Amino acid sequence: MTRPRILVVDDEPNIVDMVSTVLEFHGFEMAAAATAAEAYAAARTSPPDLVVLDVMLPDGSGFEVCRTLRRSLPRVGIVLLTAKDAHSERVAGLTLGADDYVTKPFNIDELLARVRAVLRRIAPSEAAEAEEAVLRFADIELDEEACTVQRAGRPVSLSRTEYELLRYLMLNRGRVLSRAQIIDAVWSTDYTGGSNIVDTYIGYLRRKLGTLGPNLIQTQRGFGYVLRAEDDA
């Protein structure tokens, strides 16, 4: 079985050495980067399963790295390292797509536990790997090869933008996505209009999917949207 690949991004060599040594001892394949630029290059060369990411880097913000990696690698796990235990900073990181955070100074056993927990949540099942071209959530099926969508076995006609929006939600099912994240992923970073376009297209999707079953696109007030059943909210 392939070992999960972990990318540690931090400009403090002692932290990189400690984290890399411990995680490698516990069976992970390790890679390291000291800057945002090195992190992007490492992620392109060999995409990691999870990134341990410091929020303060010498050439940029770890929050921006988090946002960029989440956009390019929707399934990657991200655990933030921060020296500040401020509520606003934790919220910012989670809103931008981080799965968890650990504040410095941290206990290495706690970090190991959080890394394992995130990997368990994001690990695809064997069935999903066998049918990787088809995304499924509840009774919705999205075929990435045929570019078709079905709900409860019945076809759903979507525009290209509606299809891309649903695909992004399904790739990140259970994760709260901000309007900015959705715009970057669906409309690209070149989009210059208002964020209310996300609300408009969420409404389109809800109406089309809602004719065949209950609403699965939940509003997380103050944060954005998440694909999950109401019973799981």
Task: Quote the CA–CA distance of 211 and 204 in Å, as a whole number.
Answer: 11
* Amino acid residing at 149: V
Secondary structure letter of residue 232 according to DSSP: G
CA angle 163-138-148, nearest 5°?
30
* Amino acid residing at 213: G
What is the chain's Cα-based Rg? 19
Contacts 24+ apart (CB under 8 A), 85-92: 89/55, 92/63
pLDDT reported for residue 128: 41
Q: What is the pLDDT of residues 200-218, one digit of tens each?
A: 999 999 999 999 999 999 9
**Tokens for 192?**
């210059």
Find, among 40, 37, 32, the residue nearest to 10 by Cα. 32
Task: Quote the CA–CA distance of 145 and 204 in Å, as a whole number.
Answer: 23
**Tokens for 97?**
């797509």
**Tokens for 66?**
């988090």
pLDDT reported for residue 230: 66
Q: What is the pLDDT of residues 178-199, one digit of tens each?
A: 888 888 778 755 556 677 899 9
Q: What is the pLDDT of residues 72-85, one digit of tens each?
A: 888 899 999 887 65
Low-confidence ranges of the chain (pLDDT < 70): 1, 84-93, 124-132, 188-193, 230-233
Contacts of 14 (CB under 8 A, 6+ apart): none
Contacts of 67 (CB under 8 A, 6+ apart): 96, 97, 180, 181, 184
